[in-house]
Amino acid sequence: MEQKKIRIGFIGTGGIAHSHMRAYLKRTDVEMVALCDIVPGKAEAFAKEFGIEGCVFYESHEKMLDTEVLDAVSVCTYNAQHAAPTIYALNKGVNVLCEKPAARTYNEALTMLEAQHKTGKVLNIGVVNRFNDGVNQIKKRIDAGELGEI
């Protein structure tokens, strides 16, 4: 039996979206379905850069989420615009991997969390520190017992 592929959409195809796409392309269980960017032609150029064919392109996350059947989206917009597409996607029943920071304000972040709780969908904020030198130094000190019991 063939495994069902996870249907992925992107909201924002700028700098950090490249890291998300490289990670997705290493997986055999995902399918790139739709790409969205407010800059005309940017999503198409992004797809071409990665050799992705068969995607549908949008300039509005609302239009993309109203039209496509997606399992998850990566929200890779600029920082001030993380909340709106995340909340919209969750309310459409789509899981979200949102780039950091989660939101501009505490209230926006709470609204995102409320949408996640209301819908029961997954909301993951991409805070990755495994390659952060400072974090790795602290981890070494913890493991060596230098900081006491934590």
Q: Which carries the bigger pLDDT value, residue 150 or residue 41?
A: 41
Whether this model's pTM surpasses 0.75: yes
3-state class (DSSP) for residue 116: helix
Distance CA 25, CA 73 (A): 14
Which tokens sit at 72? 């998850």
DSSP state of 68: -
Cβ-proximal residues to 20 (8 Å cutoff; 6+ apart), any chain: 10, 74, 76, 97, 99, 126
Kindly report, residue by residue over 10-59, the tens digit of the pLDDT: 999 999 999 999 999 999 999 999 999 999 999 999 999 999 999 999 99
Q: What is the pLDDT of residue 82?
A: 96
Instruction: Say if residue 1's pLDDT is above 70.
Output: no
